[in-house]
Amino acid sequence: MSTEVIKVNINSKEFEVPKGARLIDVCRDKGFDIPSFCYYSDLALQASCRMCLVRIEKMPKLQTSCTIICTDGMIVTTQSEEIEKAQRSMLEFLLANHPLDCPVCDRGGECELQEMTFDWGGLEERFIEKKNYAPEKYLSPMVANDPQRCILCKRCTRVCDEWMGEDAIEAGGRGANTVIGTYGGWLDCSQCGNCIEVCPTGTLLDGTYRHQARPWELAQTISTCSYCSDGCEMSLGSRAGELMRIVARDRYVNGHNGEFLCIKGRFGHPFVNHEDRLRTPLIRYKKGGKLIPATWDEAIRYTAEKLKAAAAAYGPDALGVVGSPRITNEANYALHKFATEVVGTKNYAATDAFSLKPFFDNLGAPLATHRDIRYAKTILLIGGEPEELQPLTAKQIRQAVSNGAAKLIVINSVPIRLVEHAAQFIHIRPGMENAAVWALGHSSNETTAAQKMGIEANELSALRQTITETEGDVVIMFGGELNAAAQMIVAQLANSFRADTRRVLLHPLPLYNNSVGAHDMGMMNGAMSVAEMLDATGSSIRALYVAGSFLPEHLRGREEALAKLDFLAVHELFETDTTAFADVVLPAASFAEIDGTFTNNDGLVQRVRQSIPPVHQAKPDWMITAALAAELGKDFGFQMSASAVFREIAERIPAYSGLRYPVLKDESNPVQARYNIVEPRDLSSALNELKQTVAALPDDGEKSNVTPRVGHELFKIGTLTDKVSQFHLLAAGNPRPDTVRVSPLYQITVDAKLERDAAVSGD
Amino acid sequence: MFIGAIGCEPLQLARVHLENSRSLDVYRKNGGYQAIKKVLDSMSPDDVINELKKSALRGRGGAGFPTGMKWSFVPKDSPKPKYVVCNADESEPGTFKDRYLMERDPHMLIEGMLIAAYALGAKTNYIYTRGEYRYLIDIMDVALEEARAAGLLGNKILGTEFGCEIYTHTGAGAYICGEETALLSSLEGMRGHPRMKPPFPAVSGLYAAPTVVNNVETLTAVPDIIKMGGEAYQKLGTEKSGGTKVWSVSGHVNRPGVYELPMGYDDMEKFIMEDCGGMLGGKQLKAVIPGGSSVYIMRADQIIGKDVRMDYEGIVAAGSSVGSGGFIVMDETVDVFESTKNLTEFYKHESCGWCTPCREGTDWLVKVFKRIAAGHGRPEDAQLMLDLCDNIEGKSFCPLGDAAAWPIQSAIKRFPEDFRKHLVTSIDSGVST
């Protein structure tokens, strides 16, 4: 939008507005309420609900304010008898075929149609005929559909197309018989449920929450998602100690993700109140024996004794402390403090196969926020698959391309779905991402690197040209394929591409909700990685204290590692492959039961808030660690307060300095950690190291031409999603019951859970 | 059925009676493809547009927008390709003129499109026909093939540097696709929903490129305008409505058919009572819908003795409009309540569902009509229907909403007795569904 200012007269008041501003936005901004259903910021215009009609002088008819761009001297009336009648009549039309049984509708109480009718509608109903009828059905295991309630605002179809790039839902039929539905069969998509989120009526509903609760019974708690590193803000709806549902509807929460959530964030929460949650601390008094319930005091005392004994016998470095990229900053901080100040071991790490330490140590440019991505002009994606692993990032990329005309350049060994939106796709051989970075590091490497990658050298020069021709923001993203030297070069790439009219921003794509935070808390500074610790069990590592469990990829090929330990203590929600070897299992509280912070891949430090009391005897991880420290004679001074832990974090970790919980209060103004941006580094040794890596790469290899199936990562069953029956149905290929229109939940009790054995993942 | 011209030399209908009138031979022997030759030999694109402007030709699809002006809106400097699209989605109830023009004289349409393509610099052109006119596509395809073989289509037309192609395309039976932007959506392979205007198709139409969408009859008028000159063509009609107009006459007259009349033909009463052979069975004239279903219905006393001139201005002055020229005559046996119910059912069936007032309004109106027809009319229903029409009119996304409202509004206001009769003879006064 230009900076030029024009004058617009609204309801006899003069306003100065930026040239190019949309009338509906201007009116609302200036305090004139205008109703609308189909107008949705940043989606294609629809102008079909006809609610936002205004009178503009010199125009013959009432005009939809959503389609009008303000012009200088425009005279607008938003309130008059004529306009009121039009708005009342549109609501009357919308309600004509809409059932008036709000008390049985899941949307009742938070329905835009309901609200709009109260605010703008008429008092009496003139429609006395029979309403059109269409049966309720499920569009997928996640999405319930009551077509009668549809007002055809088509937010759902636009969100599906523009946000998700999936086009799974579309209107069918004509006129008053138009219904929203699929092209046949169940919704063939990533089941993000954003169509449910944006639906202003009870047409598309959360199929897992159907008839479970009324919105006004729910306590809404604003928190941060515990799945991927995008860190979506969400609202946890709980009732009587039970987490009922998760939404992002912006009446409850207004985070950087807007109303966006993915399948995991929205539907992956039933693990919280699951019957398999650990109920008490457990102690295995004898190796090979059973885990026996114990009191907290007993479990803490027993653990402290065992750790003390191991340290006495083998020295403190024989004790390993393992944090997790899934738990809060507070929890990781407490573990780090425990390792360094209580045990005094140099062996501590976090269970993340992708350490961002080389990246942050050499950071040469700021991190891109998701908002930056949406308005970027060029986006370079090296490796990774954000559609499946960081869905919000993928959505921002799609919108940058389709709504903002950004250029997307994808370097990948498989044609991931985002390639469809790419201006350039550099299709490299598998495992060659480091070679791509080596080529970006210096143009003289391009020819050799291109040969290795199986591409033409001019593909790399075209990429370089696109970046150097960009005016505006360039965002460079990278996935977990990069090694340490390549991460260092990417972190420094900004120095070679920055210009007066061009900002270069970086966006790492780690896998977990707090991968970045685990790094920030220092859990990636230890002497050994998790894999190295597991390899050293029974020799230099004698005892491990682990928050969360080891990842399947860490345990694969190391099945005996945990059995070799003298002692293993684990914080967990459930019994896992790791707790099977544990001597003490301490029941931890899930993200819904605690206060804390996660740091996402933008570097945004966001609050996690307690929605329900800890289930059974669970405790927050940091509290367990503090209790253990106290037992070992060290008072962490946290008392019972997560905010005290965070205050200490802010005092000790420079990037977090000055932050306090009250500073992080407003999710609509997220706070980015202040990472140190280093002076340009000499990259020759990193380039040399990478040259060796590239030289060692094979000279041939088949490129995959198969676009990965939607959901191949999202639907994977891991420890948490394992507790959601719908994920089992999706993982089993989403089989639709052909003959009967039954609830998918019923269907699941009949024939799902089949694929449970196939479930291996760290989701 | 009568097909011919009254009150003027036939232009549009000049060849329809000839044997083999569809063939290229017959068309050429009777003056065909002379206009395109003249254009290519001696006229610039701007010359063509100027002739069109002088001719005062107004779009024959229903809206009556001046064609020359529409063509001049196409940006000359746009780097995008330009398209001429012929709207042959003739779906307006009571309208069947385009069908005869295409069926009997397909080359006239091709020539008109070639001239338009030349004037606008279009290389690719489409004829979009309603799904029910499948047989016309075969006729057009044969004619296009003939033209192609004769060097009248493709590269280097008539040996000049000008070249263009014309393709046929059918809709799938939706009235809304006669609305030009919905037609373009359908032509692009999407749902036939109208698009937002502005941008108008002349600036951003088919595939977001400059596009002119013209009715069949508009395009078939073009060769004669070029041949006789814009001024001469205009003089056939009136100052603001140039040339001749083809009317589709149906209903209770002795001689229904396709009539070509000069614009400004005097007068409508004479046209019905003499030219069309008078009322069927000698019955009394009750009502006329002069321009396809989407215009105001006229009472007999708005016509008889009123000297209604048959052109855009004359019919508007008499209380209706030319529309598509679908001239429906009704005698005293017609119950205007029933005929309006029938039309409303049509609009409800054809409402595309995009916008609230048209989708829900037409559905509701049909339900009210049906309830009244079933004997459950209430005295306040006429007012209810008028109010619903008012809530649709001027508030819908495209003109279909207005088109659905106007027949009902005019019918209730001009034939209140036909409605009152149904409302008063209610079985009971109670509310029923």
> Cα distance from B401 to chain A (closest Cα, Å)?
12
Using CA atoms, how far apart are residues A372 and A375, in angstroms rounded to an integer?
5
DSSP string covering A434-452, please? HHHHHHHH-GGGHHHHHHH
> CATH says A358-508 is which class?
alpha beta
Q: Which residue of A has its CA nearest to B193?
A: A174
Select from A55, A67, A83, A89 the residue whose CB has the most chain B CBs within 10 Å, as the one to mutate to test that interface: A89
Given phi > 0 = left and psi -120 to 50 = alpha, else beta, which region is B286? alpha
Evaluate whether B226 touches B40 at the Cβ level (below 8 Å). Answer: no
Cβ atoms < 10 Å from Cβ of B354? 29
Using CA atoms, how far apart are residues B63 and B60, in angstroms rounded to an integer?
7
Using CA atoms, how far apart are residues B31 and B20, in angstroms rounded to an integer?
15
Cβ atoms < 10 Å from Cβ of A138? 22
Which of B349, B357, B370 comes nearest A90 by C-beta? B357
Bridge partners (DSSP) listed for residue B247:
B259
DSSP string covering A112-154, please? HHHHHHHHH--SS----SPPP----EESSSSEEE-GGG-----
Using CA atoms, how far apart are residues A669 and B1, in angstroms rounded to an integer?
75
* Mean local confidence (pLDDT), B418-425: 85
Verify whether the Cβ–Cβ distance A62 to B363 is below 8 Å.
no
Bridge partners (DSSP) listed for residue A245:
A237
What share of chain A has pLDDT > 70, as a percent?
96
Using CA atoms, how far apart are residues A28 and A31, in angstroms rounded to an integer?
5
Three-state DSSP class for residue B308? coil
Bridge partners (DSSP) listed for residue B31:
none
Verify whether the Cβ–Cβ distance B363 to A89 is below 8 Å.
no
- Residue in A119, A120, A97, A99 with CA at minimum distance from that of residue A108: A99
* Confidence bin at A737 (pLDDT 50/70/90): low
Tokens 């394929």, located at residue: A481
Using CA atoms, how far apart are residues A529 and A535, in angstroms rounded to an integer?
10
- Residue in B86, B182, B230 with CA at minimum distance from that of residue B399: B182
Which of A61, A94, A173 comes nearest B356 by C-beta? A94
Q: Does pLDDT of A751 surpass 50?
A: no
Three-state DSSP class for residue A463? helix
All residues of chain A having their beta carbon less than 8 Å from the beta carbon of residue B353 are 152, 171, 173-178
Using CA atoms, how far apart are residues B147 and A518, in angstroms rounded to an integer?
75
> Cα distance from A110 to chain B (closest Cα, Å)?
22
All residues of chain A having their beta carbon less than 8 Å from the beta carbon of residue B355 are 47-50
Q: Quote the tokens at residue A565.
A: 């330990």
For the segment(s) B11-234, the CATH number from 3.40.50.10800, 3.30.450.20, 3.60.15.10, 3.40.50.11540 is: 3.40.50.11540
Angle of the A457-469 helix axis to the A433-441 helix axis, nearest 10? 60
Residue A136 pLDDT: 86
**Position A756: which residue type?**
R
Tens of pLDDT, residue by residue over B358-387, are 999 999 999 999 999 999 999 999 999 999
Mean pLDDT of chain B: 95
Tens of pLDDT, residue by residue over B346-356, are 999 999 999 99
Minimum mean pLDDT range among A52-66, A125-139, A573-587: A125-139
* Confidence bin at A742 (pLDDT 50/70/90): very low
> CATH says B244-331 is which class?
alpha beta
Domain A5-93 falls under CATH 1.10.10.10:
no
All residues of chain B having their beta carbon less than 8 Å from the beta carbon of residue A86 are 391, 395
Tens of pLDDT, residue by residue over B162-174, are 999 999 999 998 9
- The alpha carbon of residue A350 and the mean position of all alpha carbons in its chain are separated, in whole angstroms, by 20
Residue A763 pLDDT: 42
Tens of pLDDT, residue by residue over B256-279, are 999 999 999 999 999 999 999 999
Verify whether the Cβ–Cβ distance B355 to A48 is below 8 Å.
yes
Verify whether the Cβ–Cβ distance A129 to B433 is below 8 Å.
yes
Evaluated on CA atoms B134, B136, B137, B142, the torsion sign reads: positive
- Residue in A579, A530, A534 with CA at minimum distance from that of residue A557: A534
- Residue in A175, A49, A160 with CA at minimum distance from that of residue B191: A175
Tens of pLDDT, residue by residue over A650-669, are 999 999 999 999 999 999 99
Tens of pLDDT, residue by residue over B299-330, are 999 999 999 999 999 999 999 999 999 999 99
Tokens 């609302």, located at residue: A28
> Given CB atoms, is A533 within the 8 Å cutoff of chain B?
no
Using CA atoms, how far apart are residues B18 and A664, in angstroms rounded to an integer?
85
Phi/psi at A152 (nearest 5 deg)?
A: 55, 40
Q: Residue A421, CB half-sphere, CA atoms under 13 Å: how many?
A: 29
- Residue in A270, A247, A138 with CA at minimum distance from that of residue A199: A247
Select from A38, A46, A50 the residue whose CB has the most chain B CBs within 10 Å, as the one to mutate to test that interface: A50
Rounded to 5°, angle at Cα B193 from B187 and B197: 95
Angle of the A433-441 helix axis to the A484-492 helix axis, nearest 10? 40
Phi/psi at A541 (nearest 5 deg)?
A: -110, 120
Q: How many CB pairs under 8 A join A and B?
A: 94
Cβ atoms < 10 Å from Cβ of B246? 27
DSSP string covering A215-244, please? GGGSEEEEEE-SSSTT--EEEEEEETTEEE
Residue A3 pLDDT: 79
Fold of B336-420: de novo design (two linked rop proteins) (1.20.1440)
All residues of chain A having their beta carbon less than 8 Å from the beta carbon of residue B395 are 50, 53, 61-62, 86, 89-90
Select from B175, B346, B370, B395 the residue whose CB has the most chain A CBs within 10 Å, as the one to mutate to test that interface: B395
* Mean local confidence (pLDDT), A113-136: 91
Mean pLDDT of chain A: 93
Verify whether the Cβ–Cβ distance B353 to A178 is below 8 Å.
yes
All residues of chain B having their beta carbon less than 8 Å from the beta carbon of residue A97 are 360, 363
* Confidence bin at B430 (pLDDT 50/70/90): very low
**Position A386: which residue type?**
P
Residue A123 pLDDT: 79
Angle of the A446-453 helix axis to the A457-469 helix axis, nearest 10? 120
Residue A286 pLDDT: 95
Evaluate whether A36 touches A49 at the Cβ level (below 8 Å). Answer: yes
Tens of pLDDT, residue by residue over B98-110, are 999 999 999 999 9
Domain segments of chain B: what residues?
A: 11-234, 244-331, 336-420
Evaluate whether A582 touches A570 at the Cβ level (below 8 Å). Answer: yes
Q: Classify burial at B37, counting beta carbons within 10 Å of its beta carbon; exposed 0-12, middle 13-18, buried 19 or more.
A: middle
* Mean local confidence (pLDDT), A338-351: 97
Strands, sheet with A671-672, edge to edge from the N-terminal-most edge strand: A596-599, A604-608, A671-672
Residue B316's H or E segment, with its range, is: helix B312-318
* Confidence bin at A184 (pLDDT 50/70/90): confident
Using CA atoms, how far apart are residues B83 and B126, in angstroms rounded to an integer?
8
Which of A62, A92, A129 comes nearest B394 by C-beta? A62
Residue A2 pLDDT: 61
Verify whether the Cβ–Cβ distance A132 to B394 is below 8 Å.
no
Tokens 């207005």, located at residue: B402
Prediction ipTM score: 0.94
> Given CB atoms, is A272 within the 8 Å cutoff of chain B?
no
* Confidence bin at A445 (pLDDT 50/70/90): very high
Q: Which residue of B has its CA nearest to A84?
A: B391
DSSP string covering B355-383, please? SHHHHHHHHHHHHHHHHIIIII--TTHHH
Tens of pLDDT, residue by residue over A374-403, are 999 999 999 999 999 999 999 999 999 998
All residues of chain A having their beta carbon less than 8 Å from the beta carbon of residue B361 are 93
* Confidence bin at A730 (pLDDT 50/70/90): confident
Evaluate whether B93 touches B346 at the Cβ level (below 8 Å). Answer: yes
Residue A1 pLDDT: 52
**Position A422: which residue type?**
A
Select from B354, B376, B428 the residue whose CB has the most chain A CBs within 10 Å, as the one to mutate to test that interface: B354
* Confidence bin at B153 (pLDDT 50/70/90): very high
Residue A735 pLDDT: 66
Using CA atoms, how far apart are residues B365 and B358, in angstroms rounded to an integer?
10
* Confidence bin at B426 (pLDDT 50/70/90): very low
Tens of pLDDT, residue by residue over A270-325, are 999 999 999 999 999 999 999 999 999 999 999 999 999 999 999 999 999 999 99
Three-state DSSP class for residue A677? coil
* Mean local confidence (pLDDT), A629-650: 95
Residue A740 pLDDT: 36
> Cα distance from B357 to chain A (closest Cα, Å)?
6
Q: Does pLDDT of A34 surpass 50?
A: yes
Q: Classify burial at A63, counting beta carbons within 10 Å of its beta carbon; exposed 0-12, middle 13-18, buried 19 or more.
A: middle
- The alpha carbon of residue B33 and the mean position of all alpha carbons in its chain are separated, in whole angstroms, by 25
Q: Does pLDDT of A181 surpass 70?
A: yes
Which of B348, B362, B371 comes nearest A129 by C-beta? B371
Residue B425 pLDDT: 54
Rg for chain A (alpha carbons), in Å? 28
All residues of chain B having their beta carbon less than 8 Å from the beta carbon of residue A62 are 394-395
Q: Classify burial at A46, counting beta carbons within 10 Å of its beta carbon; exposed 0-12, middle 13-18, buried 19 or more.
A: buried
Q: Pairing state of beta strands A407-412 and A378-382?
A: parallel
* Mean local confidence (pLDDT), B124-152: 96
All residues of chain A having their beta carbon less than 8 Å from the beta carbon of residue B363 are 96-97, 132, 175-176
> Given CB atoms, is A175 within the 8 Å cutoff of chain B?
yes
Q: Quote the tokens at residue B263.
A: 């614009």
Evaluate whether A463 touches A380 at the Cβ level (below 8 Å). Answer: yes
Fold of A282-350+515-672: Rossmann fold (3.40.50)
